[in-house]
Amino acid sequence: MKWCRFEHNGSISFGTLEDDEVHVAEVSGHPLGDHSYTGNRYSLEQVRILAPIIPPMLYAAGPNYRGHVEGMAARRGARPNYPAIPEPNFRSVHAIIGPEDNIVVPKDCSGAVQPEGQLAVVMGKRARNVSRDEALDCVFGYTIGNDISQRVWQGNDRTMFRGKNCDTFKPMGPYIVTDADPTGFHIVVRHNGQVWEDFRSRNQIWDTATWIQEMSRYTTLHPGDVLMLGTQGADGDMFPGDTVSVAVDGIGLLRNYIVAEE
């Protein structure tokens, strides 16, 4: 099943995509709590698809593909330093935008931002000290994220506040697909239509179940929490006027537009 969140006539609802993939059935309530179908259905033309969820906590796996570690190291002229343990970092939930929204490049940065297109897992149940075998039972589904990064700030600042968490820097969506195998996804990142990355989730350094197991040793994962699972490669600069998209078979297309802050 594919869940979405959408705006129609100024009000926001959750819904599920119908089999024809062009109609949405509206739900009242929250997909992770009590909910029921309202009986309303809309064509995708009639609604604006939003980020599918605003999580309590938004985590990022960071380096989770060897290609990303190697690509980022090569830029610095350094040897790749593979992560020793799966430790997430945090991202701002206020930076989340939906598909087709604008990524706004702040006035006072160098003008370029870079994409990190990736799969993201959405938690469905509380998880604390879960085993690897139990971990995927706590998952609600999978969506797409783009961990937009301003590399000058990321490299020079003490924290990743400006480098990765300016307003609009976290595109997410369009849908959350449930009942999927997290090792079976195929992710393609395009810049102005040109393929920049083409990779598969089975090549993660740590898989989804391991991330959930390891994180749950220290924190309680809550329903709705989102963990972005990392990108392959180290992509180049994007400037105002450019388009970036992340396509994942079985989930959908997350496309966004780079604009300059006015």
Does residue 227 touch a second copy according to CB under 8 A? no
95 binds a second copy, rule: CB under 8 A = yes
The CA distance from 91 to 166, in Å, is: 10
State which of residues 20, 85, 179, 262 lies at the interface with a second copy (CB under 8 A): 85
43 contributes a contact to a second copy by CB under 8 A: no
> Alpha carbon 24 to chain centroid distance?
21
- For residue 25, list its beta bridge partners: 16, 41
Least distance to a second copy, CB of residue 14, Å: 19
For a second copy, the closer CB: 8 or 162: 162
User: What does 124-138 look like in DSSP terms, one character per residue?
Assistant: -S-BSS--HHHHGGG
Q: Count Cβ neighbours within 10 Å for each residue of 177-195 and write b for 16 or more, e otherwise.
A: bbebebeebebbbbbeeee
Q: Is 166 in the site for a second copy (CB under 8 A)?
A: yes
Site track for a second copy across 96-135, x = CB under 8 A: ----------x-x-------------------x-------
Distance of CA 189 to the CA centre of its chain: 12
Please name which of 112, 180, 104 lies closest in space to residue 144, comparing C-alpha atoms.
Answer: 180
62 binds a second copy (CB under 8 A): yes
Please give the Cα distance from 144 to 52 (Å, whole number): 10
Residue 83 binds a second copy (CB under 8 A): yes
Name the minimum Å distance from CB 17 to a second copy.
Answer: 28
Kindly state whether residue 251 participates in binding a second copy, applying the rule CB under 8 A. no
37 touches a second copy (CB under 8 A): no
Q: Which of 43/220 has CB closer to a second copy? A: 220
Task: Indicate whether 219 belongs to the interface with a second copy (CB under 8 A).
Answer: yes
220 binds a second copy (CB under 8 A): yes
Cβ partners under 8 Å of residue 33, min gap 6: none
Q: How far is CA 262 from the centre of its chain?
A: 26
Beta-bridged to residue 118, according to DSSP, are 145
Smallest gap from Cβ 71 to a second copy, in A, equals 17
Residues forming the site for a second copy (CB under 8 A) = 56-57, 62, 83, 85, 87-95, 106, 108, 128, 157-159, 161-162, 165-167, 215, 217-222
